[in-house]
Structure 1
Amino acid sequence: MTVAKALQQSAARLAEVGVDTPGLDARLLLAWVLKAWREDLAREPERELSAREQTIFNKALALRAERRPLPYITGEQWFYGRPFKINRAVLIPRPETEMLVTAALEKCADNPAPRLADIGTGSGCLAVTLAAERPDARIWATDLSRDALNVARKNAVRHGVAGRLTLLAGDLLAPLPPDARLDVIVSNPPYV
Structure 2
Amino acid sequence: MNHKYNVLEAIDAGVSLLERTDNPRLESEVLLSHILNVPRSWLIAHPSKPLSLTNQTQFINIVNRRKEGLPLPYLLGHWEFFGLDFLVDKHVLIPRPETELLVEIAISISNKLKRPLVADIGTGSGNIAVSLAYKVPKALLIASDISFNALLLAKTNSLKHKTSRQIQFVQADLLKGLPKVDIICANLPYLTTHETFTLEVGLNEPHLALNGGHNGLKYIKQTIITAKSHLREHGTLLLEFGDNLETIMQIVARCFADAKLTTHYDLARRPRILQVST
Query: Which category of TM-score, normalised to the shorter sequence, fits these structures?
Result: over 0.9
CA distance, structure 2, for counterparts of residue 30 and residue 132 of structure 1 = 31
Q: Please tell me the root mean square deviation across aligned C-alpha atoms, in Å.
A: 1.2
Structure 1 length-normalised TM? 0.93
Tell me the CA shift for residue 22 of structure 1.
1.0
Residue 182 (structure 2) pairs with residue 183 (structure 1):
yes
- Once the two structures are superposed, what CA deviation does each residue of 1:100-120 show, in whole Å capped at 9, x if it has no partner? 110100112221311111010
**2:35 aligns to what?**
33
Opposite residue 171 of structure 1, the aligned amino acid is: D
Residue 46 (structure 2) pairs with residue 47 (structure 1):
no
Report if the CA contact (8 A) 2:110-2:116 is conserved: yes
- Once the two structures are superposed, what CA deviation does each residue of 1:36-91 show, in whole Å capped at 9, x if it has no partner? 22232111111221222212211210110101100111110111111111000001
Selected match of 1:156 from 141, 155, 158? 158
Matches within 5 A, 1:82-161: 82-161=84-163
CA distance, structure 1, for counterparts of residue 132 and residue 51 of structure 2 = 39
Between structure 1 and structure 2, the one with the greater Rg is 2
Selected match of 1:7 from 1, 5, 11? 11
Q: Which 5+ residue runs of structure 2 have no aligned equivalent?
A: 191-240, 242-278
Report if the CA contact (8 A) 1:142-1:175 is conserved: no
Asked which structure has the greater RCO (Cα within 8 Å, sep 6+), the reply is 1
Specify the SS of the correspondent of 1:183: strand
Tell me the CA shift for residue 181 of structure 1.
3.0
Opposite residue 148 of structure 1, the aligned amino acid is: A
CA distance, structure 1, for counterparts of residue 188 and residue 60 of structure 2 = 34
Tell me the CA shift for residue 13 of structure 1.
1.3
Q: Which 5+ residue runs of structure 1 have no aligned equivalent?
A: none
Structure 2 length-normalised TM? 0.65
CA distance, structure 2, for counterparts of residue 55 and residue 136 of structure 1 = 48
- Once the two structures are superposed, what CA deviation does each residue of 1:138-183 show, in whole Å capped at 9, x if it has no partner? 100010100110110110111111121101001101131xxx3311
**2:172 aligns to what?**
170
CA distance, structure 1, for counterparts of residue 114 and residue 55 of structure 2 = 49
CA distance, structure 2, for counterparts of residue 21 and residue 175 of structure 1 = 45
Q: How many residues align?
A: 187
Report if the CA contact (8 A) 1:131-1:139 is conserved: yes
Opposite residue 106 of structure 1, the aligned amino acid is: S
CA distance, structure 1, for counterparts of residue 53 and residue 133 of structure 2 = 42
